[in-house]
Structures are given as structure tokens and as C-alpha cells.
Amino acid sequence: MVAVDIRDPMGFPSVCVLAYHAIANPGAWALDSGTGQRLLPAVRHAGCVARRLALPLSSVVAGAAVLAVAAGAAVLAVVARGGVRGQASPDLRG
């Protein structure tokens, strides 16, 4: 029997998933304006932050590096394409 610590390999994808949920849960606040409707996304967001703090530091650093590279690649793709396409909605034109 071989004992292996799987916290680091399991922690790396967890950072990416928790980052997604940390963005998505506050986005749910905009869907409903009632205080009762905002409680569940707030609790879920707090849970994401708490879980992320419980992960090994090496996993958090590796996950943050991958997310930074992905964000950089997305910015480069937008710049290479000539900027963000589309028009502002009529309400935003002023």
C-alpha cells in the first residue's frame, strides 16, 4: 500500500472551480432585489471563500497562476481581434 497526499492535485482544480463560483454567486445578487433572495448567494459566496482558504497554499498559487494566464490569453485574443465588437444598447448611448 502506498500512501499519497492528494490535497495538492485535488486542490488545484478546486481553486478554479471555486473562482468560478466566487464570480457567479455575487452575479446572482443582481437577479433578485429582495433581501431574502440575496441571502443564499451571499452564503454560497462566503462558503467559496472559506473553502479556498482551507486549500493548500501551493494549490492556490498554481490555480491563481493558471487563471492569470487564461485571463491574459483572453485579453490578447480581444486585442488581436481588434477590440470588443458590438454596439452599446440604446439605453447606454446617452
- Predicted structure pTM score: 0.63
Longest CA span, the chain: 69
The pLDDT tens digits of the residues spanning 6-50 come to 777 777 788 888 888 888 877 777 776 666 677 788 888 888 888
Q: What pLDDT score was predicted for residue 23? A: 83
The pLDDT tens digits of the residues spanning 61-77 come to 888 898 899 999 999 98
Residue closest to 64 by CA, chosen among 21, 12, 26: 12
Residue 63 contacts residue 16 (beta carbons within 8 Å): yes
Task: Report the 3 state secondary structure along 9-57.
Answer: HHHHHHHHHHHHHHHHHHHHHCCCCCHHHHHHHHHHHHHHHHHHHHCCH
